[in-house]
Amino acid sequence: MTEIIVEAAPSPFRFDPASTALVLIDMQRDFVEPGGFGESLGNDVSILQAVVPPLQAVLADARERGLTVIHTREGHRPDLSDCPPAKLMRGAPSMRIGDPGPKGRILVRGEYGHDIIDDLAPLPGEVVIDKPGKGSFYATGLDDLLQASGITSLIVTGVTTEVCVHTTVREANDRGYECLVLSDCVGSYFPEFQKAALAMISAQGGIFGWVAPSPDYLSALT
């Protein structure tokens, strides 16, 4: 066993790379690029671009050292049978889930906009989890996959911090996984939510995880 210790909030995060996965949550065109779901909700998606360079460095490092890499994508079947009406009808977006947009049907599997951005495209052999909800565990095989692979710790990245990242970390925490969230590799459309969402994770003695910037995580590994 190799124990890596990362300086993190609220305390050092300890993990063994052999039982750890890097998780990239929903780095899809639909959230990160114009013309997709994120923009249809009224967001300026350009703010999420800041996540890409540090996340590319973390992903390259994980690939080099053979860490398990898991990508997730939020989206629905083309017939929307896995999209609850409550989700479909929520709010007043400029385009609803399933509507035709400039990058294909909004948040629908198989469409160009639903896929992961080129800069972080999965390599053959990397797991891609398609999820209908905000959390990565709900209605997916992620828990079974992690258990079968002996994974007990997750390095969590992706978008958006207070929505799919938070939901996933909360779900993971309840299932017994230890999560380190990389603060510069997660992004929100709302700077004030980014700050609060990160603080919530590590407050109260690390109520559902740890938080550290990616340079601290990478330097702990070398």
Which residue ranges make up the site for ligand TIU (CB under 6 A)?
Answer: 26, 31, 41, 74, 134, 159-160, 163-164, 189
Q: Print the SS3 string covering 175-218.
A: CCCEEEEEEEEEECCCHHHHHHHHHHHHHHHHCCCEEECHHHHH
Indicate the residue among 6 and 159 with the shorter CB distance to ligand TIU: 159
Residue nearest to ligand TIU (CB): 164
CB-wise, 6 or 165, nearer to ligand TIU? Answer: 165
Q: Pick from 76, 43, 55, 41: which is nearest to 188 by CA? A: 43
| Nearest CB to ligand TIU, comparing residues 13 and 37 | 37
d(CA 108, CA 45): 19
Residue 74: CB minimum distance to ligand TIU, A:
5
Enter the tokens of residue 208: 């559902």
Catalytic residue among 83, 115, 134, 164: 164
The span from the CA of 98 to the CA of 95, in Å, is: 8
CB of 127 to ligand TIU, least distance (A): 17
**83 is a catalytic site residue:** no
Any catalytic annotation for residue 131?
A: yes
Annotated catalytic residue within 103, 131, 179, 185: 131
- Residue 87 appears among annotated catalytic residues: no
Shortest spacing between CB 120 and ligand TIU, in angstroms: 14
Least separation in angstroms between CB 220 and ligand TIU: 27
User: Whose Cβ is closer to ligand TIU: residue 70's or residue 164's?
Assistant: 164
Rg for the chain, CA atoms, rounded = 17
Q: 158: which 2 tokens?
A: 């992706």
CB 193 → ligand TIU: shortest distance, Å?
Answer: 9
Residues 6+ apart with CB under 8 A from 58: 22, 155, 157, 182, 185, 214, 217, 218
Please state, in angstroms and as integers, the Cα–Cα distance from residue 16 to each residue in 51, 98, 159, 178, 199, following that order. 25, 41, 25, 11, 25
If the CB atoms of residues 10 and 122 are measured against ligand TIU, the closer one turns out to be 122
Active site residues: 26, 131, 164
